[in-house]
Amino acid sequence: MRSLSIAQVLVIFILSLLPYSVHSQVQTELNPDIILIGDTASLKITVTYDARQKVILPQIGDSLNSFLEVSNVKIDSMKVGNNANYIQTITLTSFDIGDFLVNSLPVVIDGDTLLTSSKRLEVKDLEVDADLDKMYPIKPIIPQEITWWEKNKKYLAYWVVGILLAIIIIVLIWLYLKAAKKNKYVSKPLLPPYEEALENLKKLDKENYLSKQNYNQFYTDLSFIVRRYFSRRFDFPAMALLSGDLPPYMKNKELLTESEAEQLSAFLKDSDLAKFGRTIPAEEKHKYYRNWIEEIIQKTRPILEEDIPQHMQDEVEQEKLRKLDKR
């Protein structure tokens, strides 16, 4: 319900005190009466009547005529005593330029027809700035240099993730292949250390690394074989010790003689140089180290009683055998 002005309320209130003396009234107001093309104006029809009367307001369609269109219709009502008000607000618009007549509209009150006042609505065209009519020459497209970084920086996150994934995959493949190569020197079922070591030397010979000039892999595998043998034979972490620490450790534990420890140190040093691709040992050293590893395995293998020759009665020789057996 739309609120009315104080004056309207007072008039209706006073008239309500005088029953049957109020005459029905229809007031028409157009605001504004001049609009620009496409703008809107409000046609307000106010009907004052006795509340006991029946009122039929104008039935409004989509337009009032060929030039005036109706965009909205709103109806408000108010009642004070026996007096009532209907306010019908019609929103008009036009897309034609000119001075148009808003015709009278019929309001029926208890069978009597009252007409609203006709109004005139002027619709003006938009004023166009004269400068906008000027024609300006078309300017050529100015090329803008975009650097490679500006084009591709939005893909930086994808590159980083892709590179990291590639690195992870490469590392996993490398670890798998490295483990697979080492696993070939782990006997299944597990043999005694001495037997496994000799079997691994045979496997190394079958790879023909020397004929293929694959010195890196030859020394890597040979070093692994002897370290694994020492680790299992004497029950200490030979695989974890550095090349410079392993020979002194075995010498101090009387697992190797001083000469053998020096030979082992020389082998591990040359092996590290070959594995890391810095220096390849002299050609005659390749087979020498291979044979020396087999010899040290033979010397340090467990000595069984039946393996001692009958003629070895000399006390020195027997003491040597006892030391070897302790290893």
First to last CA, the chain: 111
Nearest alpha carbon to residue 185 among 235, 239, 236, 237: 239
Closest Cα partner for 287 from 203, 204, 181?
204
- Alpha carbon of 311 to those of 118, 319, 322, 325: distances in Å? 148, 14, 16, 18
pLDDT reported for residue 269: 94
pLDDT tens, N- to C-terminus, the chain (327 residues): 445 567 665 655 555 544 444 467 899 999 999 999 999 999 999 999 988 889 999 998 898 888 999 999 999 988 888 888 999 999 999 999 999 999 999 999 998 999 999 999 999 988 776 666 666 778 888 887 788 888 787 888 888 888 988 999 888 877 766 666 656 787 777 899 999 999 999 999 999 999 999 999 999 999 999 999 999 999 999 999 999 999 999 999 999 999 999 999 999 999 999 888 778 888 899 999 999 999 999 999 887 544 545 544 454 455 555 555 555
User: How far is 125 from 121, CA to CA, in rounded Å?
Assistant: 13
Distance CA 116, CA 36 (A): 25
CA distance 237 to 13: 112
Cα-based distances in Å from 86 to 18, 139, 167, 216: 20, 62, 82, 105
Residue 120 is encoded by which pair of tokens? 């005139």
Q: Report the alpha-carbon distance of residue 219 to residue 274 in Å, rounded.
A: 7
Long-range pairs for 251-258: beta carbons < 8 A, 24 or more residues apart: 254/323, 254/326, 254/327, 255/230, 255/300, 255/327, 256/296, 256/300
